[in-house]
Structure 1
Amino acid sequence: MKRYLVLEDGQIYTGEAFGDLGNQIGELVFSTGMSGYQQSISDQSYNGEILMFTNPLIGNYGVNDKDLESLKPTTKGVVVTQLARKTTHFEMTQDLDEYCKSHQIPGIKGVDTRAITKHIREKGAMKAAILNDISDVSINDIKTATNENPLIPTSATKEAYPAPSDGPRVVVVDFGLKYSILRELAKRNFDVIVVPPTTSYSEIMKYGPKGVMLTNGPGDPSDVTEATLEMIRKVEKEVPMFGICMGHQLFALANGATTFKMKFGHRGFNHAVRTLENGKINFTSQNHGYAVERNSVYNTDLEVSHEEINDETVEGLVHTKYPAFSLQFHPDAAPGPHDADYIFDEFKELIQRNQKENLFNA
């Protein structure tokens, strides 16, 4: 069955259908990862986006239950050059076509994803539609289409839930978290309570946390309410705080910095990041379309701690007064390199040090 990928600038690419047979509109983004398609599609940070893979063959090891990053993916569509005809893996429970059908995600195969990626890199991020017939939607429909706004409430938990252990308690504020973050916290024996993004400062502190984490999530960070930013400002004065991806951007906004929409974002698992303190370079997993404006950091109580080597965008921040920090990249990886997973150890060490020395009165 023929299917069409139509970009808002009028470009049309013809391929074949897989997955769900419905039409869909979303922002077209690309990932340069050579594997990890299952984790990417189930990552809530792709809420509202059509995900295109530059690697020419996708789906060869199917989908399994162990490596999902959420139970209900919100990715709008999937674009590949070639969908594997034969999938084999001892843990697989479905092939990619079956997985997309079961979650109402339309796919298109048989298009040159690298050529489309070059087009996006030149023209910038844009909306697109996956269509069964060109006449189903007009270019104007694509341009004016909007996602549910903001996206975070459709990705995050609506009720608090625990992941208990006998270690220090960490409250995880869920803006659309990846399960890999919870896995890394579990490895370090944290007693975790996951709470909705609307949870107030007073509600968080009732749990008696020794640390607070702000997770990744989808959409524009400026869509988040002032109440959430006020919660961050209050919590960072009480317990150690660690933000990842969206959490990093919200940490910046709460402390007076600003964010901007990138031309085409960072999505993939080969982004080199420099730690400014010691010059160490890690390869990192990234998925974001917004970034912190570097110049806006200078008149705040924040300092830039990490930068992307290629475009020098801000990849990390530290607070100069409180034991709080954030990272734009994913130290939890999943998929991607685990170069930076030691940062979870540093978060635990920061919590333990605060319990011994009370860093807030230092």
Structure 2
Amino acid sequence: MVRLGLADGAVFEGRCEGPWEPREGETVFTTGSTGYPQGLTDPSYRGQILVFAFPLVGQYGVDEDALESLRPQPEAVVVSRVPETGAGRRFREWLRRAGIPLMEGVDTRALVLHLRDRGTLRGRLGDGSLPRSSRFAPDLVASASCAVPETDPGEGPLAAVLDWGVKESILRRLRERGVRVARLPWNASAREVLALRPRGVLLGNGPGDPQDLLSGPVGTVRELLGRVPLFGICLGMQVLALACGAATEKLPFGHRGVNHPVREEATGRTLLTSQNHGYGVVDASAEGAGLTVTFRHLGDGSVEGIASGAYPAWGVQFHPEAAPGPWDGAFLFDRFVASLDEEGRKGAAA
């Protein structure tokens, strides 16, 4: 018997096959019914215990050509049931090889309802004892980032990507549009970014609390404001907001799933989006930082997009690359590429 102990004293029971060690992390849930290989390899889940609300996980194995990073990212995975099929066995083996405990046979409906009502809680998978720490490890982003710069060869407009745990699908969406990608480590300076002469900079997603990045990446982005177009996704939007002078906050239980509706404020149209974040921009802080709210969540009204009134800089809290999820926001990559083209025309005219 394995127990998941939560910070408020609640305990949920299940089982783990094979050898495993106790794991601790922020306990979060996702409502997606498909796309679990992409979700599990999203670096934004680093340092978390991931609970699947959908009762059956592992039903189609793992397509290793469609992953978002090289390995599963959560500290542990909690599910109701994995099918006793070849696909289910391959799913279990994939997590086992990565050293990720898989807790099965859990009443995930009760667990998700508990987290929904009590908010996100720290958890410890083991004997039922309470978690020993109260926050993320400070090196989460560093551990999710590339170690050295990587630049695509060939022709085409160059976009720098600040890698704080960026998903592979974000890079794919840029390359599909003819963009060359220069992927830079999490602690790259503004000078290092500008030395590449990029036409624009994409601020990628990643794990943890954006406040932990105040001493490095936030300052880097602040120096880049007005120098090149900036496009932030998820954590990247939060860092952009902090760089502009806005504030961020922890959401009660975050948005994680593939069917979150958001409204584009300028047009009134609704998009279905894929989301994976536990922090957001404080609504009341946006105007004072010179930011316009461009998208809002239709469930709780939270900020889902911002744009600077002073600089070519904007971001969204959701994932326009999907993977998994709907493609309603894919046009945002076209907007970013258009800004690269505009920057190229300015350079040619100078």
- Could you tell me the TM-score, scaled by structure 1's length? 0.92
Which residue of the partner structure matches residue 4 of structure 2? 5
What amino acid sits opposite 1:295 in the alignment? A
How is 1:170-319 mapped onto 2 (pairs within 5 angstroms)?
A: 170-319=159-308
Q: Report what 1:123 is aligned to.
A: 118
Out of 72, 96, 99, which is 2:94 matched to?
99
Call closer, same or farther: CA 1:84–1:211 in 2, change over 3 Å. same
* Shift in CA distance, 355/20, structure 1 to aligned 2, threshold 3 Å: farther
> Structure 2 counterpart of 1:318, which letter?
A
* Counterparts of 1:19 and 1:119, CA distance in 2: 28
The equivalent of 2:71 in structure 1 is 72
| One-letter identity of the residue aligned with 1:96 | F
**One-letter identity of the residue aligned with 1:335:** P
Structure 1 residues 236 and 56, CA gap change in structure 2 (3 angstroms): same
Q: Secondary structure at the match of 1:330?
A: coil
Contact 1:17/1:107, CA 8 A, preserved across alignment: yes
Give 3-state SS (helix, strand or coil) of 1:305's partner: strand
SS in 1 for 2:236: helix
Residue 236 of structure 1 and its aligned partner are, at CA, apart by 2.3
* 1:19–1:100 CA contact under 8 A, matched in 2: no
For residues 258 and 146 of structure 1, the distance between their equivalents in structure 2, rounded to whole angstroms, comes to 19
TM-score normalized with structure 2 length: 0.95
Partner of 1:38: 37
CA deviation after TM superposition for structure 1 residue 61, in Å: 0.7
Return the offset for 1:145.
Answer: 5.4
- The Cα RMSD (Å) is 1.9
Q: Which secondary structure does the structure 2 equivalent of 1:290 belong to?
A: strand
Partners of 2:135 and 2:218 lie apart in 1 by: 25
Deviations 1:211-259 (A, max 9, x none): 1000001000000033422221221211111000000000000000000
Deviations 1:258-294 (A, max 9, x none): 0000110000000001000001110000000000000
CA distance in 2, matches of 1:194, 1:343: 19
Which letter maps to 2:289?
A: T
Counterpart selection for 1:114 from 83, 90, 109: 109
Q: Offset at 1:165?
A: 4.1
AA paired with 1:308? H
Aligned-partner SS, 1:95: helix
Bigger Cα displacement from structure 2, 151-160 vs 219-228? 219-228
Give deviations 1:15-51, integer Å, cap 9, x for gaps. Answer: 1214752211111100000011111111110111000
2-side partners of 1:118 and 1:208: how far apart? 49
1:214–1:242 Cα contact (<8 Å) kept: yes
SS in 1 for 2:333: helix
Q: 1:20–1:107: 8 Å Cα contact kept in structure 2? A: no
- 1: CA distance between counterparts of 2:254 and 2:221? 25
Determine if contact 1:258/1:293 at 8 Å carries over to the other structure: yes
**d(CA) in 1 for partners of 2:338, 2:18:** 45
Q: Is the 8 A contact 2:72 2:95 kept in 1?
A: no
Maintained 8 Å contact 2:295/2:304: yes
Shift of 1:181: 0.4
> Sequence identity, in percent?
39
The answer to whether the Cα contact below 8 Å between 2:75 and 2:101 also exists between their aligned partners in 1 is yes
Aligned length in residues: 350
Q: CA deviation at 1:65?
A: 1.4
Q: Secondary structure at the match of 2:44?
A: helix
Which of 145, 170, 173 matches 1:156? 145
Q: Which residue number corresponds to residue 22 of structure 2?
A: 23
The structural deviation recorded for 1:72 is: 3.2
CA distance in 1, matches of 2:45, 2:34: 16
Go from structure 1 to structure 2 and tell me whether the alpha carbon gap of 1:127 and 1:187 turns closer, same or farther (over 3 Å shift): same
3-state SS in 2 of match to 1:242: strand
Q: Distance in 1 between matches of 2:216 and 2:104?
A: 43
* Separation in 2, partners of 1:267, 1:33: 8
Q: Which amino acid aligns with 1:25?
A: E
Q: Which secondary structure does the structure 2 equivalent of 1:25 belong to?
A: strand
- The answer on 1:353 being equivalent to 2:338 is no
Distance 1:260 1:283, change over 3 A: same
- Checking the alignment, whether the CA contact within 8 Å between 1:5 and 1:130 is kept in structure 2 is yes
Deviates more, 1:104-113 or 1:94-103: 94-103
Deviations 1:299-353 (A, max 9, x none): 1121110010111111001111221110100000100111111110111112212
